[in-house]
Amino acid sequence: MALNTTDAPELLHEQVSSLLIQPLETASIVLAAGPRIFDTASPLRIPKLVGSGTPAWIGESELIPDDYTAEFDEVRLMPEDRKSVKVITRYSNELARQSVVGLDAVLRARLVNDVSSMLDDAFLNGDGTSDSVTGLFNQPGTQSAPLDLESADTFLDALAVTTAAEVTPNRWFLNAGDFITVRKLKDQNGRYLLESDLTRDTTYRLFGVPVAVSNKVPQGKALLADISQVAVARDTNPQIKILDQRYAEYDQQAIRVTARFDLGLLHPQGVVVLDSAGA
């Protein structure tokens, strides 16, 4: 995309305010939830123990069995063919000089925001096609539970699933519209089930577990997760490069933003996908 003065006259009007109104959008929630992040540009193999034998009670001078076994597996992240998120935007030098706002700074912030938003959506909903990220909703081996937004028991049932798997969940992920529906649920004493955390602004807890709200979460679905079981491989955060010579023959500059991440689960049992289709 290239920007010039004819494309954006509103930026040049003498009476225009220097305040640039950004679009309304969903904040990033996956990285903000605190997954385990591994910085690597190469394929990452994380070993894990998936099973082991049982020790025995052995008497004095008795033979100790040597048949104890252990089964290992590994989580593989950031394969060599994992693609990056990349974008370039061009703009004329005239526009940069005449704009009433710092155009390069605005575009840099905007592109980084868009790339971060795309990554967050991939962390939740990515299907892994074309060497892209597989999101939490599509990770193999996760647990499942029905979602009934009109019943508080549906969330207790999901918690029961994690308890049975020896998992301690620390985050709900809810769609914004579904969150309001759940927000209206009350107990028998007329008290709302979603409790606000007085120690943190606009933080809600459902049965003691913090709730993250985003329109990137599909409506009619939800996640209950132990975020410590979510591994994120990070090659590069959104990086900015100013290309001041690439389009010199057009008297233009460009901004390039790139980012490369991958996501996997150390223990898929640590994530429960709730779906209203199964209710």
210 exposure class (CB count in 10 Å sphere: 0-12, 13-18, 19+): middle
pTM: 0.86
Residue 50 lies in a domain: no
Long-range contacts of 66-72 (CB under 8 A, 24+ apart): 72/47, 72/48
Residue 154 lies in a domain: yes
The domain in which residue 154 lies consists of 2-6+27-39+78-278
129-161 per-position pLDDT tens digit: 999 999 999 999 999 999 999 998 999 999 999
Residue 216 lies in a domain: yes
Residue 15 lies in a domain: no
Residue 68 lies in a domain: no
Residue 60 lies in a domain: no
CA distance 3 to 96: 10
Residue 11 lies in a domain: no
Residue 47 lies in a domain: no
172 CB-near residues (< 8 Å, 6+ apart): 155, 206, 209, 210, 211, 212, 222, 223, 224
> DSSP label at 274?
E
221-253 per-position pLDDT tens digit: 999 999 999 999 999 999 999 998 999 999 999
CA distance 156 to 190: 18
CA distance 116 to 119: 5
Please check whether residue 203 is in contact with residue 172, taking contact to mean a CB–CB distance below 8 angstroms: no
78-107 per-position pLDDT tens digit: 999 999 999 999 999 998 888 777 888 888
Q: Could you tell me the CATH number of the domain that includes residue 93?
A: 3.30.2320.10
165 exposure class (CB count in 10 Å sphere: 0-12, 13-18, 19+): middle
109-135 per-position pLDDT tens digit: 889 899 999 999 999 999 999 999 999
- Give the count of domains, the chain: 1
Q: How confident is the model at residue 48 (pLDDT cuts 50, 70, 90)?
A: confident
Helix ranges (H only) for 67-214 are 93-98, 103-125, 153-164, 176-183
Closest CA to 155 of 29, 274, 1: 274
Beta bridge partners of 169: none
